[in-house]
Amino acid sequence: MKPKLSALGEFGLIRRFSPAFMKNLPPDIIGIGDDAAVLPWKKDACLLVTTDMLVENVHFLRTEIGPRDLGAKALTVNLSDIAAMGGSPRSAFLSLGIPGKLGIEWLDAFFRGMAELAEASGVHLLGGDTTRSPGPIVINIVVLGQVRRTRLKLRSGARPGDLIVVTGFLGDSGAGLRVLLEDLPRERDEARLVRRHHRPRAHLAEGAWLAARDGVTAMMDVSDGIDSDLRRIMERSHCGAAVNLDDLPLSGPLRRAGKKYGWGVRGLAASGGEDYCLLATIRPDRYERITAGFEKTFGRPLSRIGTIEGKKERLRYRTAGKTVELKPRGFDHFR
């Protein structure tokens, strides 16, 4: 019996079809399996290519997010992939499926939000495609970037003993989505969490800084949640990992909202997606120097959350000194 898509899952689907396209790949190209594809370009630099799709009622609710915020977020999720490779974004291409009844005012605001972020990030929109959609809004963006060969960071570089860190708070976006889905009151903390969901920030400066440190061994962005994204590093690096849930960095709004509504905030921080900070692994002998430099540069700590282990593709969670099982798991489109 052939497996169903729901049983296969998003990453199982990728593993199922990708070998046919990877077997004859030239050695100087990195394809499926990282945040962006890597192509040869200049003698000392590589070209980065990434693409992400947002579908109405899957990735966003048009009734909840304004078009200006949506335009910025659609670009942000791609910029975050470039940040995860240690690169700088340069150009973008947009394909847009538009319902016939969508107002021009909505589209004007959507492009204004995208243009504002593009200008701030040094990105030029160079083209794309538009078509009429019979149903939801469909947004697909391709971003091209560049990175020095010596600073390229992949998911495959983690080694046992490396320390696992993140560059920002975890769980805020997932909590903001929960506020929306449960139609909770939009008081100060709830509004801040919704804002984090609607207007995430790509950690471009942080990614470039970490890429310049030779003690950083692997890196990716947190798009589907630590539980899902860390497993991608484990898979590519052929390793295991242990995460201390008590060390996950939580914002004040998430702590207060979690207490108010009885949320399991540690589980939400591990499994909630779309925070778009960076997840990285660091050699233990370089950890103190890198974390001190990061805090001096960015004015906030680089949060250590766990350790890479040798047990292949085994992810352990601990809290209060005990091993626990995490529920729910990280986001998967088909499960």
Question: Residues 172, 251: contact at Cβ < 8 Å?
Answer: yes
SS3 173: helix
**Pairwise CA distance, residues 93 & 128, whole Å:** 5
- At 334 the pLDDT is 42
pLDDT truncated to tens, each residue of the chain (335 aa)?
A: 667 766 666 667 667 767 777 677 877 888 888 999 999 998 899 999 999 999 999 999 999 999 999 999 999 999 999 999 999 999 999 999 999 999 999 999 999 999 999 999 999 999 999 999 998 999 999 999 999 999 999 999 999 999 999 999 999 999 999 999 999 999 999 999 999 999 999 999 999 999 999 999 999 999 999 999 999 999 999 999 999 999 999 999 999 999 999 999 999 999 999 999 999 999 999 999 999 999 999 999 999 999 999 988 899 999 988 999 887 565 555 45
Q: Amino acid letter at 115?
A: A
| Helix residue spans in 262-334 (DSSP H) | 265-271, 287-298
Unique residue bearing structure tokens 């004859």 = 24
How far is Cα 109 from Cα 41, in angstroms, rounded to an integer? 35
Domains in the chain, ordered, with CATH? 5-151 (3.30.1330.10), 163-324 (3.90.650.10)
CA-to-CA distance for 285 and 308, rounded, in angstroms? 14
Q: Tokens 């070998």: give the residue.
A: 19
**pLDDT, tens only, 157-201:** 999 999 999 999 999 999 999 999 999 999 999 999 999 999 999
Tell which residue, 167, 140, 139, has the closest CA to residue 65. 139
- Amino acid identity, residue 139? I
Strand segments (E) across 202-259: 216-221, 240-244
- pTM score of the predicted model: 0.93
